[in-house]
Amino acid sequence: MVVVDGEPLGMQDLVATDFCDFGSVTTFSWLDRDARGRGLGKEMRQAVLHLAFDGFGARAATSGAFVDNHASNRVSEALGYQRNGSDWATRRGEAAELQRWRLTRERWSERRREDIDLVGVAECRPVLGLAAPDDH
């Protein structure tokens, strides 16, 4: 959940399937319309990418946004994601085109922020079936 000044304004998901085999995660977020345009979407994504790459040792992250969601697509581009094809999804009962994005660990490292602290990740790793950082 994303909370600013005590107000819940959005959410950021981090999802993986067979992470131990593939090392890949997918991010998804939603931000209240009134909170958009303030840089929160970029902050949210940077935080969850830090968790994925630094905390969990991910090798790649993917994301997607409808082609007309210019703000979300700009966030992906600004954070170093590269275009990775397109797909279709249902939006409000209608088919809509998605732009897919992919970010490698190496590209993330080039833009990595040093002001994000992870707390409690080591304790979560065994619960998620992840080896200690030195073991991956």
Asked whether 47 and 12 are in contact (CB, 8 A), the reply is yes
Give strand pairing partners of 31.
10
Give strand pairing partners of 60.
24, 104
- Per-residue pLDDT tens for 21-55? 999 999 999 999 999 999 999 999 999 999 999 99
Q: How many CB atoms lie within 10 A of CB 70?
A: 10
Q: Residue 67: phi, psi to the nearest 5?
A: -60, -25
CA 94, 96, 97: angle at the middle one, nearest 5? 165
Q: What is the pTM of this model?
A: 0.91
Tokens at 74, concatenated: 């700009």
CATH number belonging to domain 2-63+71-79+102-130: 3.40.630.30
Q: Work out whether strand 7-15 and strand 2-4 pair parallel, antiparallel, or are unpaired.
A: antiparallel
- The predicted structure's pLDDT at residue 132: 76
